[in-house]
Amino acid sequence: MNDKAERQEHITRVRHFINAHKILTPMVVLGLMTYYDYWGVLAWVYLALHGTYCLLWMIKEYTYRDHRFEESIHPIAGFIFVFCMLGGYWLAPYIIISNHLTAPNWLIAFSIFITTLGVFYHYVSDAHKHAVLSIRKGLITTGLFSRTRNPNYFGEMLTYAGFAMLAQHWITLLPLVYWWSFFIRNMLIKDKSISRYPEFGEWKKKTGLVIPKLFL
């Protein structure tokens, strides 16, 4: 029994590769700033935004972990299809720092707005989901879930869009397109799964798949 438990502890899971990316991201950004000797406002703003997001992710990981990422995965597959794909998000800081970019104040302000809104939707909805499911199973149709069926995905999409726009380059759209396509696929699969609940039809009418329906 103890051997089995020990083997379980050494299984690589999806969350291990996600967490590695989150831990390394602030170090990568600081490393780029050091290597390219760029300490401008835009680099610091990017580091503050993405670094805070990563810190909050790790706090969430050790307080109300998302069990979707407990799935086991082969180390090579995890490195290629999770870690390396997430690495695409490092294009934005690389472009900003290697080119010593600046940005108009309005763009920085808009990025902070979009990122903050995204972080709110992501982490608040995950905390709400964790709290409700720890009490009972079933659909969650209250709080942020009363206007969108996927507030956590909506938040994550906003957050990374906020990061990407600071680079002011089309290539930073590529990882967004890849991950957003993956998210939408997961949302559609989830919709199909939870459609078995009697109240799903009425809830679906009142909510958006991703973007919140603010007016009913």
The single-letter DSSP state of residue 10 is T
Query: 5-40 pLDDT, tens per residue?
Result: 444 556 899 999 999 999 999 999 999 999 999 999
Residue 142 has pLDDT above 70, yes or no: yes
Which pLDDT value is given to residue 50? Answer: 98
Average of per-residue pLDDT values in the chain: 93
Query: 168-210 pLDDT, tens per residue?
Result: 999 999 999 999 999 999 999 999 999 999 999 999 999 999 9
The CA distance from 144 to 151, in Å, is: 6
Residue with tokens 């709080």: 143
Which pLDDT value is given to residue 5? Answer: 44
DSSP result, 141-195: -SGGGGTBS-HHHHHHHHHHHHHHHTT--GGGHHHHHHHHHHHHHHHHHHHHHHT
| Mean pLDDT within 118-136 | 95
Query: For the purposes of burial, counting CB atoms within 10 Å of the CB of 216, is it exposed (0-12), middle (13-18) or buried (19 or more)?
Result: exposed
Which pLDDT value is given to residue 215? Answer: 66
Q: Name 35's Cβ contacts closer than 8 Å, sequence gap at least 6.
A: none
The alpha-helical segments, DSSP class H, found in the chain are 2-9, 14-35, 41-61, 75-78, 85-86, 91-98, 105-133, 151-165, 173-194, 200-206
Q: What backbone phi and psi angles, to 5 degrees, belong to 122?
A: -65, -60
Which pLDDT value is given to residue 67? Answer: 81
The CA distance from 137 to 148, in Å, is: 19
Query: 65-113 pLDDT, tens per residue?
Result: 888 888 899 999 999 999 999 999 999 999 999 999 999 999 999 999 9
Which pLDDT value is given to residue 66? Answer: 84
